[in-house]
Amino acid sequence: MANPNEPKIGLLITDFDGTIKPLVGPVPQVEAAALKTLGQLKVVRAVATGRSLESFRLDWSPDLELDYLIYSSGLALCRFGRTGPLEHLFLKAFAPSESSLALDIALALGWGFVAFKAPPNSHHFYYLDPLNCPPSPGQVARVNRFQEVATPWPGYKPHEPLSQVLIMAPAEEFPQLKDRFQSLAPNLSITLSSSPYGDGRIWLEVFPGGVTKGSASAALADLLGLTAQETVAVGNDYNDENLLAWAGRGFVVADAPLELRRRFSPLKDDLGVLSQVMAALGLK
């Protein structure tokens, strides 16, 4: 039974890949059942993912229930129904000066990059290989998988709006790579995450100033008339950290980085993620 002295839970926001969806395979039935139960309990259900809208739709089954989707790591927020995305509540992109600065730094670093167009078309991207080494396996896999929307870097800055620059570099290049980028562009948002391709790379993701999963989640809660204390968040990696820190209660999966497991409530690895969260919150 829920503790009557604890604030009510009105909103649950979960990461997608590596949290409720395994890196290989679909969202398990145990997570689908938990999403349905949360809806019956009148808890608003949202996913906050680094994926683009089109990439998310590839792996989101129509039988899964969801109320809101935050995608591209906080660049966009939309209502989400059985048939997919409904109306957008906001869409964000780089200002021209931000885009130019982010690209200048990425070009100077020499690790190559992926530059994404503005949402809802943030699945379209330009790519540039590193100067002095082969591209990362993750970049090769991304380009191969999304050939229809992948464009080689044209050699000049495009005039169209961009929304994200992604650099995939060896783990030993961090934190100095992040520190260098942040020192040159202090007003841009920078997050780190582990490569989902299992290639040992760390992803440095650069966004317009103020864009994070946490800021988008705060905007959603405000639209719903809810507070951070009425929100629960679930994640698995560094790019979830600001979301987990903002929410009234944060949970991380069993294989999350150690520093995240020390800061937030760790879950077990042999049970459904959302069902464990519900049990911890006294939701039945």
Cα(167)–Cα(188) distance, rounded to whole angstroms? 15
Instruction: Select from 207, 228, 249 the last residue of a domain.
Output: 207
Q: Clarify whether residues 202 and 103 are in a common domain.
A: yes
pLDDT of amino acid 5: 52
Instruction: Select from 143, 175, 207 the last residue of a domain.
Output: 207
Whether pTM exceeds 0.75: yes
Q: Clarify whether residues 53 and 19 are in a common domain.
A: yes
Q: Is residue 266 part of a domain?
A: yes
Q: How many CB atoms lie within 10 A of CB 196?
A: 16
The boundaries of the domain holding residue 256 are 11-92+212-281
Q: Clarify whether residues 269 and 131 are in a common domain.
A: no
- At 150-188, the pLDDT tens digits run 999 999 999 999 999 999 988 888 778 888 898 999 999
Q: Is residue 3 part of a domain?
A: no
pLDDT of amino acid 129: 95
Q: Is residue 19 part of a domain?
A: yes
Q: Clarify whether residues 17 and 76 are in a common domain.
A: yes
Low-confidence ranges of the chain (pLDDT < 50): 1-2
Q: Clarify whether residues 175 and 87 are in a common domain.
A: no
What is the domain-level CATH number for residue 37? Answer: 3.40.50.1000
252, β-bridge pairs: 235, 266
Residues in CB range of 94: below 8 A, 6 or more apart: 102, 161, 162, 163, 208
The number of domains in the chain is 2
Q: Clarify whether residues 273 and 243 are in a common domain.
A: yes
Q: Is residue 80 part of a domain?
A: yes
- Tokens representing 71? 């995608």
CB 111 within 8 A of CB 169: yes
To the nearest 5 percent, what fractions of the chain are helix, strand and coil?
35, 25, 40
Q: Clarify whether residues 231 and 247 are in a common domain.
A: yes
What is the domain-level CATH number for residue 124? Answer: 3.30.1240.10
Cα(133)–Cα(112) distance, rounded to whole angstroms? 10
Q: Clarify whether residues 218 and 175 are in a common domain.
A: no
> How buried is 126 (Cβ within 10 angstroms: 0-12 exposed, 13-18 middle, 19+ buried)?
buried
Q: Clarify whether residues 62 and 104 are in a common domain.
A: no
Q: Clarify whether residues 107 and 201 are in a common domain.
A: yes
Q: Is residue 250 part of a domain?
A: yes
CB 265 within 8 A of CB 236: no
Q: Is residue 4 part of a domain?
A: no
Q: Is residue 166 part of a domain?
A: yes
Q: CA separation (Å) from 112 to 85, 133, 181? A: 32, 10, 14
| Residue bearing tokens 């600065």 | 101
Q: Clarify whether residues 84 and 105 are in a common domain.
A: no
Q: CA separation (Å) from 198 to 17, 95, 185, 250? A: 13, 33, 29, 25
Q: Clarify whether residues 68 and 203 are in a common domain.
A: no
Instruction: Select from 207, 228, 246 the last residue of a domain.
Output: 207
Q: Is residue 176 part of a domain?
A: yes
- At 77-90, the pLDDT tens digits run 999 998 899 999 99
